[in-house]
Amino acid sequence: MTVIRAAEAPQFALPGVAFAGLAAPSRGSSDLCTWRLTVEGAFESPEPHTLDRDEVFMVVAGAIKLTPTGDTIAAGDAAIAPAGSPIQLVNAGDTAAEVIVAIPAGFTAKAADGSVIGTPPWAL
């Protein structure tokens, strides 16, 4: 069994979003990746991306949308973004949102223009 302590989880950041790496192949999970997102209040990612696997978002605090015109997903809710669907993360409130994300290991991301982004470092 592998335990990833919150204080020891690897940290990554993009503008407006902080990632705490939890389960991943480099941390003992061969089939599943999870991470904790902290999304700044009123944040909207600049452009959508797609993934080649289904991705699950479980909101712990605050509220998000997976597209600017999508449904609001509040604390206690979960949403599934099917493989290939555009994701453009939006914080639906003015305070930070906390989200747990899960996806099969080995996924690949693509930018809106179709260029390959690959697998982000928090999921390796």
Stretch 5-15: mean pLDDT, rounded?
96
Residue 122 lies in a domain: no
Query: Which tens digits make up the pLDDT trace of 11-56?
Result: 999 999 999 999 999 999 999 999 999 999 999 999 999 999 999 9
Domain boundaries, position 54: 13-116
CATH of the domain at 101: 2.60.120.10
Q: According to the model, what pLDDT value does residue 4 have?
A: 95
Residue 4 lies in a domain: no
Number of compact structural domains in the chain = 1
Are 94 and 40 a contacting pair, CB within 8 Å?
no
Q: Give me the chain's average pLDDT, please.
A: 97
Distance CA 63, CA 46 (A): 18
Residue 16 CB neighbours (<10 A): 16
Partner residues linked to 63 by β-bridges: 74
> DSSP of 43-112, one letter per residue?
-B-SS-EEESS-EEEEEEESEEESSTTS--EETT-EEEE-TT--B--EE-SSS-EEEEEEEETT--EEET
Question: Which amino acid, residue 68?
Answer: P
Q: What is the pTM of this model?
A: 0.95
Query: Which tens digits make up the pLDDT trace of 52-66?
Result: 999 999 999 999 999
Cα–Cα–Cα angle for 41, 45, 48, rounded to 5 degrees: 150
Distance CA 21, CA 66 (A): 20
Residue 27 lies in a domain: yes
Stretch 80-107: mean pLDDT, rounded?
97
